[in-house]
Amino acid sequence: MTVSPHDQARILSEALPHMQRYDEETVVIKYGGHAMGEENAAREFARDIVLLEQTAINPVVVHGGGPQIEAMLKRLGIKSEFSGGLRVTGADTIEVVEMVLAGSINKQIVGFINEAGGKAVGLCGKDGNMVVARKVSRQVADPSSKIEKLVDLGFVGEPEKVDVTVLNQILGRELIPVLAPVATSANGETYNMNADTFAGCIAGALKAKRLLLLTDVPGVLDKSKKLIEKMSVNDARKLIADGTISAGMIPKVETCIEALDQGVEGVVILDGKVPHAVLLELFTDHGAGTLIHR
C-alpha cells in the first residue's frame, strides 16, 4: 500500500504531541522469545527502536529467549526438566542459557539495531553489577494429592538489588542498551531470570515513563475475551481475585504492579507480533494492548 505525501504529513503531524510527551523520557521494552518471530519482524522491530531514539526517547530493550534456549538444549542433547510447569535450570543448563541469551540472541538484536542506523550496546545483568539476584524457589501443588511442596528450580533467580549506574552512563548519549536477563548472585553464581521480571526491575530503577511488555496475546482480556484497554492497579487486583486474569497472565500483571509501585508511570501489555506495535502504542491516540496505571 502506497501512502500519499499528504497522508504521510498528516500522520507525522498527529504523532507529534505523542513524541513531545515522551521527549527525553525512558521507555523499557521487553521483547519476548515468541514476539521476536522471524527475521523480517526482528529487523522491523529494530528499525522502530532506532526511530524512538531518533525522536529523543531513551529506549532500553530487555529480551527473552525461551524458544531459542529450548532449541539449543535439544541440539546439545540436554534434556529440559520441568517441575510444576516451571523449567529447572541445572548447572549444565545455565551455561547454555547464558550462551544463548547474553551471546547469540543479544548480539543478533544489537546487530539488527546497528544495521538500522542505531548504536546498540549489548549487556546483561552481570555488567556493572546491574542486577544482583537471589535464588528462587516455588511452592507447587502436586496434581494428584494437591499438597504443596517446595520446588528447587536450580539457577533461577529474582532481583535482590538493582544498580543502574551503567545504564545512566549510556542513556541520552545516542546509545541503545540491549539487556539479557542473566544476573549474578552476591557470591558470584550465575542466575537465569524471567525476562518480564528483569524488565520490571530495570524500569522501576530507571523510573521509566513506560514499560512495554511485548507478548503473543493482544493484552489483558475480559471474561468475554474482549481487550481491556486501560485499568488501574486496583482493577487488576480485582480481576486476578475473580479469576478473569488467570494462568500465565497473572505473573505478567503482578510484574506490572511491582513496576508501578517502584515508580514507573504506566505499563502496557501488548501483542509483539503486530507490526510496529511499539509505535502504535507510543505515537497514536488509539494505542495498543492494555495500559495498567497507578
Whether residue 217 is contained in a domain is answered as yes
| Per-residue confidence (pLDDT) for residue 8, from 0 to 100 | 76
Q: Which is nearest to 164 in space by CA: 118, 132, 197, 195?
A: 132
Across the range 123-148, mean pLDDT stands at: 86
Q: Which domain holds residue 166?
A: 24-281
Choice between 163 and 34, residue whose per-residue pLDDT is larger: 163
Across the range 17-27, mean pLDDT stands at: 86
| Per-residue confidence (pLDDT) for residue 157, from 0 to 100 | 94
Order across the sheet with 210-215: list the strands: 120-124, 176-180, 58-63, 26-31, 210-215, 266-271, 290-293, 230-232
Contacts of 275 (CB under 8 A, 6+ apart): 41, 44
Contacts of 239 (CB under 8 A, 6+ apart): 220, 228, 231, 245, 253
Whether residue 167 is contained in a domain is answered as yes
Q: Is 31 exposed, middle or buried (0-12, 13-18, 19+ CB in 10 A)?
A: buried
| Per-residue confidence (pLDDT) for residue 77, from 0 to 100 | 94
**Collapsed DSSP state (helix, strand, coil) of residue 19:** helix
> What CATH number did the domain enclosing 176 receive?
3.40.1160.10
The answer to whether residue 35 scores a pLDDT higher than 70 is: no
Whether residue 5 is contained in a domain is answered as no
Whether residue 124 is contained in a domain is answered as yes
What's the pLDDT tens digit per position in 141-192?
666 777 787 888 999 999 999 999 999 999 999 999 999 999 999 999 999 9
Whether residue 6 is contained in a domain is answered as no
What's the pLDDT tens digit per position in 184-216?
999 999 999 999 999 999 999 999 999 999 988
Whether residue 17 is contained in a domain is answered as no
Whether residue 276 is contained in a domain is answered as yes
Across the range 33-53, mean pLDDT stands at: 86
Our count of domains for the chain comes to 1
Across the range 63-88, mean pLDDT stands at: 85
For the ranges 87-91, 95-99, 165-169, the lowest mean pLDDT is seen at 87-91
| Per-residue confidence (pLDDT) for residue 204, from 0 to 100 | 96
Q: How many CB atoms lie within 10 A of CB 259?
A: 28
Whether residue 19 is contained in a domain is answered as no
| Per-residue confidence (pLDDT) for residue 93, from 0 to 100 | 93
What's the pLDDT tens digit per position in 243-288?
999 888 998 999 999 999 999 999 999 998 888 999 999 998 877 8
